[in-house]
Amino acid sequence: MEDIIQYISENQQEFYVFILAVFVGIEVISKVPTVLHTPLMSGSNALSGVVIVGSIIVLGKTAPDNYAALTLGFFAVLLATLNVVGGFAVTNRMLEMFKKKPAKK
Amino acid sequence: MILYIIDICYLVAVVLFILGIKLMSHPDTARRGNGIALSGMILAIVASFFTPGLNNIILILVAMALGTVGGLYFAKSVKMTAMPQLVSFFNGMGGAAAALIGLVEYGDLPVDEVGKGAVLMASLVIGSISFSGSMIAMGKLQGVIKDIRINKMLGFTILAVAVALAVYIIASGQPQPVLVYVVVLLALVYGLAFVYPIGGADMPVVISLLNSLTGVTAATTGLLYDNKVMLMGGILVGSAGLLLTLLMAKAMNRSVANILFTSFGTAAGG
């Protein structure tokens, strides 16, 4: 328990960012119309692919002879890329449907 | 110097993420928002390549090339009506990636770092739940997987055991490579038990919730690396996803608690 509290106090900045980001996330989408629910879900899904940064770092710092870690890291990068690329491409395809019609208010 | 530039790139990327989501919530600007969020993501990825001491660059590029080809192929070839299951699939991939990072990191983490250990376990458990849950959600929308009733208590017991084991692993102060895999396995099973009993019509809400979970794992991974772009991006998705889940449920005239627990309730009667 003490360790956890110490960890939080040592990483205060991160936890401030954490809490502020919660409110930012709620604030930015609070007025989303119903038609945009699915595209927004898809778009935010693509954003959660930001974990790709972590997977690049993890594979990048693995020793070249640690085959187990290399394999896991390789798949981490592969899957995260799928998430990012697929996510943005699908969102774009969904939003293309909004292009022709005049925008709803 | 290069470290400062990376940090600034991450900062700009976060701003682009927020702007992107903001624009994506208005019909007129939604496409532009998607593009802006994408440019933020590209910036974050390029910046991460300049992390000092990065090895295996070729391996990273190969994995990214494969992922890009696969992602574009799925995104372009799937029918418009099958979009939600595809989103679920991609979401599961993100969760799995976070869990894999956790597995690799566990090997390197000194056992006396309790705080980081806790963050890592959270990353593993939530990522695994998000992965297996998303796969089931996809299967259900596709009509491949039928509704199966699973006792509510069984699911929660599995989760409780997984969390207890994770706490034990951290508290034991010793490397527990086998137990870590057991925790992941239990979390995967919980993901199945969580999504299985929920009806197909409610799946979009569940996918949104799982999407929010993937965001949280991205954020915990960010905590692990002291990486603000992952932390901020992940939490942004986590909280926006949670609100979106509530809004979607409201649009369907359902409450989230209703969706998540009613079907469990009927099963628990037996």
Q: Mark yes or no for CB contact A79/B94 under 8 Å.
A: yes
pLDDT confidence of residue B263: 53
User: Do residue B93 and residue B179 come from a single domain?
Assistant: yes
User: Do residue B35 and residue B109 come from a single domain?
Assistant: no
User: Do residue B55 and residue B116 come from a single domain?
Assistant: no
Comparing CB atoms, the residue among B87, B100, B233 nearest residue A47 is B233
Residue B216, Cα to own-chain centre: how many angstroms?
Answer: 7
Q: pLDDT tens digits, residue range A15-48?
A: 898 899 999 999 998 889 998 999 999 999 999 9
Query: Which chain B residues touch A92 with a CB distance below 8 Å?
Result: 31, 34-35
Q: Which of B52, B77, B102 is the last residue of a domain?
A: B77
Q: What is the mean pLDDT of residues B125-146?
A: 92
pLDDT confidence of residue B264: 46
pLDDT confidence of residue B241: 93
**Structural domain for B34, as ranges:** 1-77
Count of structural domains, chain B: 2
Q: pLDDT tens digits, residue range B93-129?
A: 999 999 999 999 998 888 778 888 999 999 999 999 9
User: Do residue B226 and residue B111 come from a single domain?
Assistant: yes
Chain A nearest C-alpha distance from B206 (Å): 11
User: Do residue B111 and residue B46 come from a single domain?
Assistant: no
Q: Mark yes or no for CB contact A41/B208 under 8 Å.
A: yes
Query: What residue spans define the domains of chain A?
Result: 1-31, 33-105
**Alpha carbon distance B259, B67 (integer Å):** 33
Which of B12, B93, B113, B230 should one mutate to test binding to chain A, selecting the residue with the greatest count of A CBs within 10 A? B93
List, in sequence order, every beta strand (DSSP E) within B46-161.
none
User: Of A15-24, B219-228, B261-270, which range is least confident?
Assistant: B261-270
| C-beta of residue B96 within 8 angstroms of C-beta of residue B131 | yes
Query: DSSP for A26-86?
Result: HHHTTT--GGGHHHHHHHHHHHHTTHHHHHHHHHHTS-TT-HHHHHHHHHHHHHHHIIIII
User: Do residue B54 and residue B66 come from a single domain?
Assistant: yes
Chain A nearest C-alpha distance from B261 (Å): 22
